[in-house]
Amino acid sequence: MKRIFNSPIKKISLGVLSLLCIGWTDGKAQTLPEYLNFTAEITKEVGIDYLLYIPEDYTPSEGKPLLLFLTGEEYLGDIDQLRSVGPCGEVESGMSFDYFIAAPQLPGDVLWDTEALLALIDHISGSYHLDNSEIWLTGLGDRGGWGSWELALLHSDRFKKFAPVASSPGTNVWQVHELSIRIYHGAQDDIVPVVDAENMFYELNWDDVDVDLTIFDDLGHDIGDTVYSDPGFYTWVSGEEPTYGSASPNPSYKSMTATVDKSIDDDYLLYLPDEYEDSNHEWPLLIYLHGSGSAIYDLDAIRDGGPPERYEEGMNNNFILLCPQLHADVHWDVDRINALAEEIMNTYEVDRTKVYLTGLSRGGFGAWEYGVSYPNKFAAVIPISARDVAGVERLAYSTVWIFHGDQDNGVPWQGSQYAYNRLSALNADVHFTLYEGVGHWAWEPAYDTDGLWVWMLNQSNPLADISDHSDITPDRVQLIQNYPNPFNPSTNIRYRVSELSNVSIEIVNIYGERIKTLITSEQKAGSYSVWWSGETDTGNMAPSGIYLTRIQTGKTGQTIKMTFLK
pLDDT digits (tens, 9 = 90+) for 473-496: 334 677 888 888 888 888 888 887
Task: Average the pLDDT over each of 6-10, 65-69, 372-376, 412-416 and give the range with the smallest value.
Answer: 6-10
pLDDT at 37 > cutoff 70? yes
Give the CA distances from residue 59 to residues 68, 125, 128, 131, 200, in Å, rounded to whole numbers and listed in that order. 20, 14, 9, 12, 39
Is the separation of the CB atoms in 63 and 129 below 8 Å? Answer: yes
Arithmetic mean of pLDDT, 527-547? 88
Closest CA to 547 of 516, 504, 519: 516
pLDDT digits (tens, 9 = 90+) for 441-456: 999 999 998 789 999 9
pLDDT at 511 > cutoff 90? no
Arithmetic mean of pLDDT, 26-54? 88
pLDDT score for 17: 36
How many whole angstroms from its chain centre is CA 88? 25
- Say whether 434 sits in a helix, a strand or coil: strand
Residues of the chain with pLDDT > 70, as a percent, come to 92
Largest CA distance in the chain: 82
pLDDT digits (tens, 9 = 90+) for 171-230: 889 999 999 999 999 999 999 999 999 999 999 998 889 999 999 999 999 999 999 999
pLDDT at 365 > cutoff 60? yes
pLDDT category at 6 given cuts 50, 70, 90 is very low
Is the separation of the CB atoms in 90 and 22 below 8 Å? Answer: no
Work out whether the CA dihedral 234, 240, 245, 248 comes out positive or negative: negative
pLDDT at 384 > cutoff 50? yes
CA distance 292 to 383: 15
pLDDT category at 25 given cuts 50, 70, 90 is low
Give the CA distances from residue 102 to residues 4, 50, 496, 545, in Å, rounded to whole numbers and listed in that order. 31, 7, 21, 38
How many whole angstroms from its chain centre is CA 326? 18
pLDDT category at 2 given cuts 50, 70, 90 is very low
CA distance 504 to 553: 7
pLDDT score for 562: 87
- Say whether 296 sits in a helix, a strand or coil: helix
Q: Identify the DSSP state of 393.
A: G
CA distance 23 to 231: 62
Write out the E strands in 452-544.
477-483, 491-497, 501-509, 514-523, 526-532
pLDDT score for 9: 31
pLDDT category at 12 given cuts 50, 70, 90 is very low
Contacts 24+ apart (CB under 8 A), 529-532: 529/77, 529/492, 529/493, 529/494, 529/495, 530/492, 530/493, 530/495, 530/505, 531/490, 531/491, 531/492, 531/493, 532/482, 532/490, 532/491, 532/493, 532/507
Arithmetic mean of pLDDT, 489-507? 86
pLDDT at 314 > cutoff 90? no
Work out whether the CA dihedral 64, 67, 68, 72 comes out positive or negative: negative
pLDDT at 24 > cutoff 80? no
Arithmetic mean of pLDDT, 145-152? 97
Arithmetic mean of pLDDT, 73-91? 93
CA distance 151 to 121: 11
Structural domains of the chain sorted by starting position, each given as residue range(s) with its CATH number in brackets: 46-259 (3.40.50.1820), 272-457 (3.40.50.1820), 477-564 (2.60.40.4070)
Give the CA distances from residue 68 to residues 86, 90, 121, 156, 522, in Å, rounded to whole numbers and listed in that order. 11, 14, 8, 14, 36
- Say whether 66 sits in a helix, a strand or coil: strand
pLDDT category at 14 given cuts 50, 70, 90 is very low
Question: Mean pLDDT, the chain, as a whole number?
Answer: 89
pLDDT score for 172: 87
Residues of the chain with pLDDT > 90, as a percent, come to 69
Arithmetic mean of pLDDT, 153-166? 97
Q: Residue 12 corresponds to which amino acid?
A: I
- Say whether 301 sits in a helix, a strand or coil: helix
Find the helix packing angle between 334-347 and 362-373, rounded to 10°.
Answer: 70
pLDDT digits (tens, 9 = 90+) for 334-347: 999 999 999 999 99
Residue 473 has φ and ψ, to the nearest 5°, of -70, 120
pLDDT digits (tens, 9 = 90+) for 250-303: 999 999 999 999 999 999 999 999 889 888 899 999 999 999 988 999 999 999
CA distance 533 to 492: 9
